[in-house]
């Protein structure tokens, strides 16, 4: 059965129909209430790929360890270079610890927002930022930007053991890309598995600049890179239309300046 939102003009009737059919009511966008798949009901793969969005707002409902285990048990089938499976996960629930993470993320996101507002691609490795330190310091950031770290029922800290990662691009004169391919398929699988259960989350990387502090807070050795922090919970709402560019915009036939691949 597909996970399909049911827009309806009256929340009450949707909730009753959803209850009757055994659906989960995952939230409301202010006008409409969304009913997503029953917990544990498989979601069609393509539908899941189309609708696994970045969820930063959660209902006040717990996600227990047994559920987290199921997500990780599905995610572990992700590929990794040489099948060396360097992922390491800490299931973080402690609110004091998570507040420390949020405090670390805040100045990082301040710079991100300041550079974005200046029309730049923030934290870019090729084009240096023209935004000065004063402007960064003066940039206000909404709480919502880092709030999911503390407000989700559970936070998954995803690390990767660089001692087992093959980085074929390590000697190129550019930022490393290949190493991430041994961890982000796993991280994405966590979110797809969450989608399958009517849960949601967001892959965040904003703690990476504070890696030494995060390692210390988690007791991680230096070889464990901080790849992602993923808050997981019951979504306040389930998006069904994600903004993505069409294939014609990014795929060319034969070479860079070839004709676009059309469907």
Ligand X SMILES: Cc1cc2nc3c(=O)[nH]c(=O)nc-3n(C[C@H](O)[C@H](O)[C@H](O)COP(=O)(O)O)c2cc1C
- Cβ nearer to ligand X, comparing 241 with 255: 241
Q: Work out which of 41, 116, 167, 205 binds ligand X, going by CB under 6 A.
A: 205
206 in contact with ligand X (CB under 6 A): yes
Burial 5-26 (b: 16+ CB within 10 A, else e): bbebeeeeebbeebeeeebbbb
Q: Using CA atoms, how far apart are residues 22 and 33, in angstroms rounded to an integer?
A: 15
Q: Which stretch binds ligand X (CB under 6 A): 75-83, 128-136, 204-212, 214-222?
A: 204-212
Please report, as residue ranges, which positions from 211 to 250 form the binding site for ligand X (by CB under 6 A): 242-243
Q: Work out which of 3, 25, 26, 53 binds ligand X, going by CB under 6 A.
A: 53
- Cβ nearer to ligand X, comparing 174 with 243: 243
3 in contact with ligand X (CB under 6 A): no
Q: How far is the CB of 202 from ligand X (least distance, A)?
A: 5
Which of 84, 259, 74, 50 lies closest to 162, judged by CA? 84
Rounded to an integer, what is the distance from CA 220 to the centroid of its chain?
21
Helices then strands, counting H and E runs in the chain, come out as: 9, 6
Q: How far is the CB of 77 from ligand X (least distance, A)?
A: 20
**H-helix or E-strand containing 108?**
helix 95-117
Whether residue 63 contacts residue 233, with contact meaning beta carbons closer than 8 Å, is answered with: yes
- Cβ nearer to ligand X, comparing 11 with 211: 211
Q: Work out which of 37, 139, 179, 204 binds ligand X, going by CB under 6 A.
A: 204
Q: Using CA atoms, how far apart are residues 204 and 104, in angstroms rounded to an integer?
A: 13
54 in contact with ligand X (CB under 6 A): yes
Residues that bind ligand X (CB under 6 A): 53-54, 202-206, 242-243
């Amino acid at each position: 059965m597909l996970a399909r939102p049911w827009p309806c003009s009256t929340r009450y009737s949707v909730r009753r129909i959803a209850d009757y059919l055994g659906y989960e009511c995952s939230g409301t966008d202010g006008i409409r209430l969304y009913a997503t798949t029953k917990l544990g009901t498989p979601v069609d793969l393509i539908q899941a790929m189309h609708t696994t969005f970045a969820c930063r707002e959660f209902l006040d409902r717990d996600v227990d360890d047994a559920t987290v285990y199921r997500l990780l048990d599905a995610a572990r089938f992700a590929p990794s270079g040489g099948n060396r499976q360097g992922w390491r996960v800490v299931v973080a629930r402690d609110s004091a610890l998570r507040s420390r993470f949020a405090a670390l993320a805040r100045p990082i996101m301040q710079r991100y927002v300041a550079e974005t507002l200046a029309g730049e691609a923030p934290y870019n490795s090729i084009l240096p930022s023209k935004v000065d330190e004063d402007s960064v310091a003066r940039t206000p950031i909404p709480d919502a930007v880092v709030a999911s770290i503390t407000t989700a029922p559970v936070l998954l800290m995803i690390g990767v053991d660089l001692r087992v990662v093959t980085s074929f691009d390590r000697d190129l004169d550019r930022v490393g890309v290949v190493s991430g391919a041994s961890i982000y398929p796993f991280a994405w699988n966590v979110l797809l598995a969450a989608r399958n259960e009517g849960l949601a989350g967001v892959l965040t990387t904003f703690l990476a600049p504070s890696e030494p502090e995060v390692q210390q807070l988690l007791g991680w050795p230096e070889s464990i890179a901080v790849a992602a922090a993923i808050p997981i919970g019951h979504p306040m709402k389930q998006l069904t239309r994600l903004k993505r560019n069409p294939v014609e915009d990014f795929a060319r036939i034969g070479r860079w300046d070839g004709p676009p691949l059309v469907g």
